[in-house]
Amino acid sequence: MSEIITVGLDLAKNVFQVHGADGAGQPVLRKKLRRAQVLEFFSQLPSCVVAMEACGGAHYWGREIGKLGHEVRLIPPAYVKPFVKRQKNDAADAEAICEAALRPTMRFVPVKSGETQGAAMVFRVRELLIRQRTQAINALRGHLAEFGQVVPQGAANASKLIVIIEDPESGLPAEATATLQVLIGTLAQLEAQIRKLDAEIARCAKDNEVARRLMTVPGIGPLIATAIATLAPPPETFRKGRDFAAWLGLVPRQHSTGGKQRLGATTKMGERSLRRLLIIGANSVIIKRHVHREAQPGTWLGNLLTRKPPMLARVALANKMARIVWALMARGGVYRSPVGAV
């Protein structure tokens, strides 16, 4: 059998598919493995390139297989799909992964350490708790609306809902009040858990040197700075700030042909949590533009707000913030506000 140079590994819960190719790209190995057999198989395999699709468990397998002396490459699934031939099955997927890894222009995802994955969980859990809090508030609003009590949307108005439920003069039936008290207790518990996570994020922001420098950018606080420092790839992954903004999905989607440029909505690629947070940070700058020198009349942002729709201005500012963030991470230093118009 020819020497195996590249291996495509299709990940699964229990049954894994392996596709090995030699230096010419010719297939020399096709094999199914149970979960318990994966590490044993790669421990007996000569050092080679092992490619996998970047997914939830890929970083774990990348770390474990990398310890055995192999070079691990993680490929975004969207870049693997064009190499799948005809029908989709595990063997075809493993072959497509192997084929994609051989492309000289292919882009790869860095393997995350266990510490980085653990630090990123605080943002995932916080997002989940905020969604649950929103569900609880909407449930309270919906149930009170059945009794003619209408309260505006938003977490800031949750206290008004609680006041109505606890008011004996509100006219709510005793059965409804007792049931809604369960939702109030759940809401209070979620609020306490979110505050605990926010305190942990603020502590991490103080301890992280990169996060402290990023917080000098208007619109970036402890939450956004820590999320960028934790979730964003190393700055050397990108050649320039525009590439980082494109990875975040903050650039227009192109559908150009025949020399004619057609630009659409943002691509929404990359890490959606970071994209959403940067847009929220940009929105805070626009809301408080009277205190931000970058948003005063005559500046780039001030002129943009007079010419373009508000949401377009937010995304454009988030794009600019992403480029500034990349520059600070790649070159060091802190943000310095421009003297004149940008």
DSSP structural state of residue 2: P
The first and second tokens of residue 53, run together, are: 């699709």
For 75, list phi and psi in degrees, rounded to 5. Answer: -115, 135
Kind and range of the H or E run holding 186: helix 174-207
Residues 319, 251 contacting (CB under 8 angstroms): yes
Cα dihedral across residues 334, 340, 312, 319: positive or negative: negative
Its CATH architecture, for the domain 6-101, is 2-Layer Sandwich (3.30)
The pTM assigned to this predicted structure is 0.83
Residues 198, 223 contacting (CB under 8 angstroms): yes
R_g of the chain computed on alpha carbons = 25
Return d(Cα 112, Cα 73) in angstroms, integer: 12
Kind and range of the H or E run holding 75: strand 71-75
pLDDT digits (tens, 9 = 90+) for 142-198: 999 999 999 999 888 999 999 999 988 888 998 999 999 999 999 999 999 999 999
Q: Which pLDDT score, from 0 to 100, does residue 264 have?
A: 82
Residues 80, 108 contacting (CB under 8 angstroms): no
The full set of domain ranges for the chain reads 6-101, 114-207, 218-255+264-331
Residues in the chain: 342
Residues 98, 17 contacting (CB under 8 angstroms): no
Strands 71-75 and 49-53: parallel
pLDDT digits (tens, 9 = 90+) for 190-231: 999 999 999 999 999 999 999 999 999 999 999 999 999 999
